[in-house]
Amino acid sequence: MVFASPIFLFMFLPAFLSAYYLCPLRFRSAIILAGSSIFYAWWRLDFLFMLYGIIGFSWLIALAIEKWRDNKNAKWLLRFGVIANLLTLGYFKYWNFGVDSFLKLMTHTGVNFSPELMQVILPIGISFFVFHAISYIVDVWRKDTPATHNIFDFAAFITLFPHLIAGPVLRYKDLAWQFKSRKHNIDVFSEGAYRFMAGFAKKVLIADTVAPLADAAFALEDPTMADAWLGTIAYTIQLFFDFAGYSEMAIGLALMMGFRFIENFNNPYISRSITEFWRRWHISLSTWLRDYLYFPLGGNRKGKMRTYINLFLTMLLGGLWHGANMTFILWGAWHGIILAAERLMGVNPDAPTGKIKFIAMLMMTQILVIIGWVLFRAHNVETAFAFYHGMIGLNGFGLSDAFIWQVKGAQLLALIAGIFLIYSMPFFERKRTKVELSKGSYAMQARPNLVAQVAVSSLFLIAVARLVAMSYSPFLYFQF
């Protein structure tokens, strides 16, 4: 089940919220678990039991770590818990990739054989809920949060359907106190409804409208410069409004239940460096990678060279986390190299700059991001480099006949609207206020005026009508 579907909007969500608010507060974690289980099982029932297994295992490991923390062998519990979760993720996500890579290697060495090996189905959302489980185990070990003895609260945290499938990547410590005491009132619910409607409109009206433009461009064998740049810019807009729209919908749904999530995006396309970009793009994941990968590798505490290596490795593994494909590995390496280079050159994203330098840095950063998105979007490395050939004009310069007939006026209008919103949203969002969730973690509280509420509500109704006509609108990040 996905947020942008009639069955979610008109059946699941009203039924869930009715049950949620009709039951006493002490039973609401159980209602969350039941409702989220239905939400997940709508896709495949068998993988729901795998999810329950991860929940039960991680909950018991955390309790054991807290009980025997002072025992010299307790660290093995931490290692066992983390490794077991990583092996589960590795099996489902990378088995097919590993087998295919091995068979290709054998072919290159002259050994030709094609054994009948099982193709593993990737459980939807596994990358996210495994990361949630790992962060909980590690945080209990670090004493950042106590282990909860209420398995319903922990199970509700992992399965909480707004963030179950595609994030944000949350930490239990940010929600632990909210399971015990959270606000349920019309103001919080209305704020959540506003955020959900805004994200829904971004997804359906912009991301889904420009998607065919990006798809058509990346399907070309020899794109021209105009084909490649128009297609890549379309994908740049599609990806942002698809994923940022999903994240805003997730935040809004959580608010409808009284939970406040951390923000996942902070206008990333106005960044002046890749370092700043990763402070603004997919904030929950970049923070997770920093706290649970970069810091354990040594961070910047073991000399300059080790810092550069740690930055590169963190982004390389972050790329691999996105998918079992060489394109994601190269995309992670691309960002890792740039981050290390910026660190080497002493780039300070917080340093004040003049207008001309600001615009130049913004444009350069955007170009670097767009170059990376080609790898992120392409099905394989060959397709990506064919696209790069087009971007530098090796296949001609104007729009090709194979592409131009697929370009529609509505797509270009949505593309222009998306670009306008990207650079105007910082102005509209400046009145949001920070709400501290835990040490170092913040959410944003929106206070829209009447004009904004009417505009978003109108766009939401238009988006619903368009969705009903389309019948299905998948999210890009569901593949991860």
Retrieve residue 401's tokens.
Answer: 């006949």
pLDDT at 108: 67
pLDDT at 306: 92
Final residue in a domain of this structure, among 156, 180, 204: 180
d(CA 262, CA 284): 7
d(CA 414, CA 376): 22
Q: Report if residue 314 sits inside a domain.
A: no
Please indicate, yes or no, whether residues 154 and 208 belong to a single structural domain of this protein.
no
pLDDT at 116: 62
pLDDT along the chain (480 residues), means of 10: 85 95 90 94 89 96 90 86 94 82 70 66 89 95 91 94 89 89 89 94 94 94 94 96 94 94 92 95 93 90 90 94 90 96 88 86 95 94 93 92 91 95 83 75 81 91 88 63
* DSSP per-residue string spanning 69-102: TTSTTHHHHHHHHHHHHHHHHHHHHHHHHHHHHH
Please indicate, yes or no, whether residues 392 and 442 belong to a single structural domain of this protein.
yes
Please indicate, yes or no, whether residues 172 and 222 belong to a single structural domain of this protein.
no
pLDDT at 118: 66
d(CA 214, CA 234): 5
Element (H, E) at 408: none
Please indicate, yes or no, whether residues 415 and 429 belong to a single structural domain of this protein.
yes
pLDDT at 84: 96
Instruction: Determine if the pTM surpasses 0.85.
Output: yes
Please indicate, yes or no, whether residues 218 and 89 belong to a single structural domain of this protein.
no
Count: domains in the chain: 2
307 close to 300: Cβ distance less than 8 angstroms = yes
Q: Report if residue 200 sits inside a domain.
A: yes
d(CA 433, CA 447): 9
pLDDT at 113: 60
Q: Which residues pair with 441 in a beta bridge?
A: 438
Please indicate, yes or no, whether residues 30 and 164 belong to a single structural domain of this protein.
yes
Q: Report if residue 370 sits inside a domain.
A: yes
Final residue in a domain of this structure, among 149, 180, 211: 180
pLDDT at 469: 81
Write out the residue range of the structural domain in which residue 247 sits.
Answer: 186-272+353-471
Please indicate, yes or no, whether residues 100 and 235 belong to a single structural domain of this protein.
no
Cα atoms found within 13 Å of the Cα of residue 34, Cβ hemisphere only = 11
Question: Measured in Å, how far apart are the chain's first and last C-alpha atoms?
Answer: 16
Q: Report if residue 321 sits inside a domain.
A: no
Q: Report if residue 334 sits inside a domain.
A: no
List phi, psi (to 5°) of 44: -150, 125
Q: Report if residue 476 sits inside a domain.
A: no
Please indicate, yes or no, whether residues 234 and 371 belong to a single structural domain of this protein.
yes
Q: Report if residue 327 sits inside a domain.
A: no
Retrieve residue 55's tokens.
Answer: 């929940």
How distant is the alpha carbon of residue 400 from its chain centre? 34
Please indicate, yes or no, whether residues 120 and 241 belong to a single structural domain of this protein.
no
Q: Report if residue 245 sits inside a domain.
A: yes
List phi, psi (to 5°) of 398: -80, 170
Please indicate, yes or no, whether residues 121 and 243 belong to a single structural domain of this protein.
no
Q: Looking at the annotation, which residues are catalytic?
A: 322
Final residue in a domain of this structure, among 138, 156, 180: 180
Q: Which long-range contacts (CB under 8 A, 24 or more apart) does 290-299 make?
A: 290/314, 291/135, 292/134, 292/135, 292/138, 293/317, 293/318
Please indicate, yes or no, whether residues 262 and 155 belong to a single structural domain of this protein.
no
Please indicate, yes or no, whether residues 139 and 226 belong to a single structural domain of this protein.
no
